[in-house]
Amino acid sequence: MFRAADKALKSAGIVQTRLQYEETLDSGFAFGLWWKYDPRPTEGRDQLAAFLSRIGVSFEQLRALPSDQERLALVADKLAQERPGLQHWFKVGMWVFANAWLLGSARYADTTESARELMREDREVRGMSSNLMGCLIDIGWSPDEAENFYVGKLIPFLFDPGHHKWVDNPSMAVMSDLRFKAKAIDTEKAKDNDSRRVTGAARALVSELPVVGKAFEILIIGAKK
């Protein structure tokens, strides 16, 4: 009975997402941290596990997959089903971690020219930067905005010692800037009157379900006030 009601609600398009953009962004960063250092504990690991469980994914499932691309694809597909667009914010968080770690830990440029050469010649650096900028464009940024963000916020990890200590820290300025934007979207969506329309549509639909009727309507929505 409850499965039938849930199916009916979903088919009517009136089930709201349980996830927000800000937490999805943070979970993407935590995902990068977890995969890089697993099985060692990492910051945000417990929150990441809870986040993934809400979309039906476990660490065990991810470890069983043979490639990084497949792990990311699994999570992205689940997020897209939850709400189209969430997958892009998750990827942004993950690629911010990947780029910060690569530039701040695995690479070092002691001169401006060596930094330029690295950007021109290192395929991994170029690939990761391209992935991040592509995801920024996916969340609505212009190509120029994405490029300026990468150059101004992430390139300093190459040569600025002050940036190196932040490579694993989700509180880095890069993430703070993105978190502010994601939170603004969450706030705007919270003001949307769609939630009121959803409640009304749900009440109308559930009241028409056979057998369940008014009792079930009150159970999941509450008595009319």
| pLDDT one-digit tens code per residue, 4-28 | 444 444 454 444 456 899 999 999 9
d(CA 133, CA 73): 18
Quick check: is 201 in a domain?
A: no
223 belongs to a structural domain: no
CA geometry: angle 212, 214, 217, nearest 5 deg: 85
- Residue 217: the pLDDT is 47
Q: Are 128 and 99 in contact (CB under 8 A)?
A: yes
Of 42-46, 116-120, 127-131, 208-212, minimum mean pLDDT range: 208-212
Inside any domain, residue 164: yes
pLDDT of residue 34: 95
The answer on pLDDT for 80 being more than 90 is: yes
Does the residue 212 lie in any domain? no
The pLDDT-based confidence of 204 (bands split at 50, 70, 90) is low
Whether residue 65 is contained in a domain is answered as: yes
The predicted structure's pLDDT at residue 221: 47
- Please, is 176 exposed, middle or buried when counting C-beta atoms within 10 Å of its C-beta (0-12, 13-18, 19+)? exposed
- Torsions phi, psi for 57 (to 5 deg): -125, 140
Helix axis angle for 86-101 and 68-82, nearest 10°, is 150
pLDDT band at 192 (very low <50, low <70, confident <90, very high): low
pLDDT at 106: 72
- pTM here? 0.78
Q: Average of pLDDT values for 26-54?
A: 94
Mean pLDDT estimate for the chain: 82
Which one-letter DSSP state was computed for residue 104?
A: I
DSSP state of 189: H
Q: State the residue for tokens 């530039």.
A: 103
In a domain, 55, yes or no: yes
pLDDT recorded at residue 119: 80
Domain around 38? 19-191
pLDDT: which is higher, 220 or 43: 43
Helices then strands, each counted (H, E), the chain: 14, 0
Question: Can you give the pLDDT at residue 161?
Answer: 85
* pLDDT surpasses 80 at 193: no
Two tokens at 86? 């969430």
- What pLDDT is recorded for position 136? 96
CB 185 within 8 A of CB 21: yes
Q: Which of 173, 20, 179 is nearest to 93 (CA)?
A: 179
Q: What is the pLDDT of residues 125-170, one digit of tens each?
A: 889 999 999 999 999 999 999 999 998 999 888 888 888 889 999 9
Confirm whether 209 is domain-assigned.
Answer: no
If one counts the domains in the chain, the total is: 1
- Structure-token match 């695995």, residue found: 106
The verdict on residue 211 lying in a domain is no
Could you give the CA distance from residue 11 to residue 37 in angstroms, rounded to a whole number? 40
At residue 111, does pLDDT exceed 50?
A: yes
